[in-house]
Amino acid sequence: MTQREEALRGNITEAMKVVAKAENLSPEGIRLGLAKGTISIPCNPLHKNLNPVGFGQGLKVKVNANIGTSADFPDVAEELKKLDAALEAKTDALMDLSTGGNISAIRKSILMKCTVPLGTVPIYQAVVEKRMTVEGMFEVVEEQAQDGVDFMTIHCGVNFETIGRLKKQPRLMDVVSRGGALMMQWIMKNKEENPFFQYYDRLLEIARKYDITMSLGDGMRPGSIVDAGDQAQIQELMVLGDLTKRAWEAGVQVIIEGPGHVPYDQIVEQIKLQKKVCQNAPFYVLGPLPTDVAPGYDHITAAIGGTLAATAGADFLCYVTPTEHLGLPTPEDVKEGVIASRIAAHCADIAKGIPGAKDWDIAMSKARKELNWGKQIELAIDPVKAKKIHDKRHSDSSDACSMCGEFCAYKVSKNALG
């Protein structure tokens, strides 16, 4: 039985208890969210070393890190280093997007070390292994489910109708989702409907069997700020709204994926629209990036967009690394990306009044006022970087830092106020 089916029957599972404890909420509250569909706990029972994590309304905003090989860099050892970097930086979820080397073996190696929910995009493996028949695609989904994958991005909403909208209202950047573009290519070449849309019930059967959370992909997400909110994007969203309902009716958990490149002034309205159309299913945003001009700094761009999106209701932020739009990330880039997204998620938690979110900040402020450097470093979101910077220019002659020395505002204030 899936977590959703258990919740609908009034049962509180071990996974619900774990999530409730991590969120400082009652297990009954988590159960209710699962039953309503506003919370998902991607939790394939075959993922043995998983520590379940909850995503959705009323919970802390979560962060995902993408790792995975490419044809140019198929080395699994490097991906396992990225996995370690992501877990050390406290990512809440991982996606294996491998497209190089032995994809099944790489996924199994990642799953063995992965203690957070693991997601995949099955169409990548189907394309690389030339298994792009209807049977081939479904086989890949089932194989990945049998390995223990917890959530899968499936671009069910890329169909004839959505592609028709794309043609009616052409874009600057066409389709920038890799899975979305591959699906569109298959549909146009074969002149057949998207199998994951046409045989959606078959997909749901597999998802239900292994409790795979459907992460309904946004194949038509905008790849330029000027493409945001166009007909193709909205058409796909309408399809995803319908598919969400059908998944819930089949007992399957859902997450909805969203944009993409969106101007800052449109982010709130986009989140509210997506939440409404998809009946408040957990919402997973890729960025969003409010400008297109910052390659090398897109982790910062995504954190700016992600903070606003999460404050407006997005539940799950897919990280962006400094190498976005430029190349495959290194383990250090993975760490930077996770930290940047965690900052965005935490800022949104504070803004949304998530219980306990501010306590971390209050503790840091107290440590700052006391010039307690050990405590400040311990509380820092990246203690290693904070210590490195502090120690680099520290003078033993003062308990203040080297910025103001004897004119330290905390010291001056303390002397003035007594």
Residue number with CB closer to ligand SF4 (362 or 407): 407
* In the complex, minimum distance from the CB of residue 346 to ligand SF4, in angstroms, rounded to a whole number: 21
190 assigned binding-site residue: no
14 assigned binding-site residue: no
Q: Which tokens sit at 405?
A: 């020395």
Touching ligand SF4, residues 367-406 (CB under 6 A)? 400-401, 403-404
Size of the site for ligand SF4 (CB under 6 A): 7
Residue number with CB closer to ligand SF4 (273 or 408): 408
278 assigned binding-site residue: no
* In the complex, minimum distance from the CB of residue 375 to ligand SF4, in angstroms, rounded to a whole number: 13
CA angle 402, 405, 410 (to 5 degrees): 110
**Residue 73 found at the interface with ligand SF4 (CB under 6 A):** no
210 assigned binding-site residue: no
* In the complex, minimum distance from the CB of residue 397 to ligand SF4, in angstroms, rounded to a whole number: 12
Q: Beta strand pairing status for 55-56 and 39-40?
A: antiparallel
Residue number with CB closer to ligand SF4 (181 or 401): 401
* In the complex, minimum distance from the CB of residue 401 to ligand SF4, in angstroms, rounded to a whole number: 3
Buried b (16+ CB within 10 A) or exposed e, 398-418: eebbeeeeeebeebeeeeeee
408 assigned binding-site residue: yes
**Residue 410 found at the interface with ligand SF4 (CB under 6 A):** yes
d(CA 42, CA 53): 7
* In the complex, minimum distance from the CB of residue 304 to ligand SF4, in angstroms, rounded to a whole number: 25
Give 295-300 contacts, CB < 8 A, sequence gap 24+: 295/324, 295/325, 295/326, 296/322, 296/326, 297/322, 298/322, 298/324, 298/325, 299/324, 299/336, 299/337, 299/340, 299/341, 300/340
Taking CB under 6 A as the criterion, the residue among 409, 416, 417, 418 binding ligand SF4 is 409
Contact 321, 299 (CB under 8 A): yes
4 assigned binding-site residue: no
155 assigned binding-site residue: yes
d(CA 376, CA 349): 21
* In the complex, minimum distance from the CB of residue 404 to ligand SF4, in angstroms, rounded to a whole number: 3
**DSSP for 5-28, written as a single string:** HHHHTTPPPHHHHHHHHHHT--HH
Q: Beta strand pairing status for 254-258 and 283-286?
A: parallel
Instruction: Name 63's bridge partners.
Output: 317
Residue number with CB closer to ligand SF4 (269 or 391): 391
Other beta carbons less than 10 A from residue 179's beta carbon: 22
Contact 56, 40 (CB under 8 A): yes
Residue number with CB closer to ligand SF4 (71 or 417): 417
Site string for ligand SF4, 187-226 (x = CB under 6 A): ----------------------------------------
Tell the residue number behind the tokens 């599972």, with chain if given: 13
Touching ligand SF4, residues 242-301 (CB under 6 A)? none
Q: Which tokens sit at 20?
A: 């409730």
* In the complex, minimum distance from the CB of residue 405 to ligand SF4, in angstroms, rounded to a whole number: 6
Touching ligand SF4, residues 325-364 (CB under 6 A)? none
Residue list, annotated binding site for Zn(2+)? 261, 325
- Residues in contact with ligand SF4 by the rule CB under 6 A: 400-401, 403-404, 408-410
